[in-house]
Structure 1
């Protein structure tokens, strides 16, 4: 059985993984959702100084302080950036890295680099007008749809996000990733492709072509960008399949 460390995307806390984590535990796994600094129940820790490096340190500390071994580290959406930064620094503690509708980032990159320019401009406007110049509130769903699929999110799931999402310290989107450490040769590389990643791979996007090659193993999940909310049990099944099938 695997030890999953589940890292949520922007605006979310550990709460977003509750149903998926429970389904993984019912399959015999250990499932440990993480809340990054400034989000969820840790929102009181938000400051203008909270950035990408803060979240990288959060992930490493979570694993090391609990003395976790043979970890399967799961990165949803924005979490791909701090997980990329943290994964290589976990050394032999890391067994597997899973990018959920996301992909690893190269050194020097940040989340804003992969968003359309007009979306980035609207996010800056939200920060300036509604986030005291340093926090990004959950954008309207009409804007979110411009950069991620909302498939599977009914009114119940959207209301949950509106109610429980917390503003994202915007420096986490702006700060650039320093060159990440290389993963050990025995680390399993997995990508779970929902509609967003699937569409990009099917379109032959050159920057993501490596995900179709060894050592990457790819598992499709037919839903939108927020599977822990739209299809949480199915997501658990896909993660279970990824760890059960080996390499």
Structure 2
């Protein structure tokens, strides 16, 4: 039996893992899908002060207070920062970190640092317009323009996501991650969905700053060809790849 903690990406809550959680439990595993502060059923807890450290604490506290050990900690998309930070804080509790169409957040960088300055300005402007320090869920056209693959998302999946997604606290995107060294000790798997593994390995060999640390011996790689939200577009395959790690 394994213990999975499933952390969804920006704008999503624990509900996003519904078609993944039950099959993993039916296979005999302990599964904890997590809604971070201000998201999902915890949307009412969002404040302008909700930041990356808040979300790191959400994950660390779940692991500590449930006394979870040998955890397979799964980060989808924008959850990479919080998951990287949590694994860094409690590496002795983590068996493996799985990055599902995402990757580790470097020390001293925020999620907004991954894009050009105009992207940061746009997110800050949207949060100011929306109020409460929240960035509203983008339109599907905006997602595609930002490079997120919508492959496999039919009308039903898009309607579900758009109806339940809530504003993402800007601080979770804008606050830089501070790592202490614990993350480097943890085994890791990258599951590439919307980009080919060949591209990943090329970036690693080229020493790209966002991929360079994946050259370490603690890394494994898997491919799950689909769009950026595999828990919706290919839930059965998502379950299979999580079982395989």
Structures share a fold, TM > 0.5?
yes
Q: Give 1:99 shift.
A: 0.9
Aligned to 1:223: 226
Deviations 1:167-187 (A, max 9, x none): 1111110011112432374x3
Please, which runs of 5 or more residues in structure 2 have no aligned partner? Answer: none
Q: Is the 8 A contact 2:5 2:71 kept in 1?
A: yes
Q: How many equivalent pairs are there? A: 240
Deviations 1:125-162 (A, max 9, x none): 32222x21611010111111123111111111111111
Tell whether 2:122 aligns with 1:132: no
Q: Secondary structure of the equivalent of 1:5?
A: strand
1:81-230 to 2 correspondences below 5 Å: 81-129=81-129, 131-132=130-131, 134-145=133-144, 146-183=146-183, 185=185, 187-196=186-195, 198=197, 200-201=199-200, 204=203, 206-207=208-209, 208-211=211-214, 213-230=216-233
Q: Is the 8 A contact 2:91 2:182 kept in 1?
A: no
CA distance in structure 2 between the partners assigned to 1:58 and 1:227 by the alignment: 23
Check 1:196–1:170 CA distance in 2 against 1; reply closer, same or farther (3 A cut).
farther
Q: Give 1:88 shift.
A: 2.0
Larger CA deviation: 114-123 vs 94-103 = 114-123
Please, which runs of 5 or more residues in structure 1 have no aligned partner? Answer: 243-247
Check 1:100–1:200 CA distance in 2 against 1; reply closer, same or farther (3 A cut).
same
CA distance in structure 2 between the partners assigned to 1:200 and 1:169 by the alignment: 31
CA distance in structure 2 between the partners assigned to 1:197 and 1:122 by the alignment: 29
CA distance in structure 1 between the partners assigned to 2:240 and 2:149 by the alignment: 21
Q: Give 1:215 shift.
A: 1.7
Q: Secondary structure of the equivalent of 1:195?
A: coil
Q: Give 1:115 shift.
A: 2.4
CA distance in structure 2 between the partners assigned to 1:39 and 1:77 by the alignment: 15
Q: Aligned match of 1:240 in 233, 238, 243?
A: 243
TM-score (norm: length of structure 1): 0.90
Deviations 1:107-129 (A, max 9, x none): 11000111244443432332222
Q: Secondary structure of the equivalent of 1:238?
A: helix
Q: Give 1:213 shift.
A: 4.7
TM-score (norm: length of structure 2): 0.91
Check 1:184–1:127 CA distance in 2 against 1; reply closer, same or farther (3 A cut).
closer
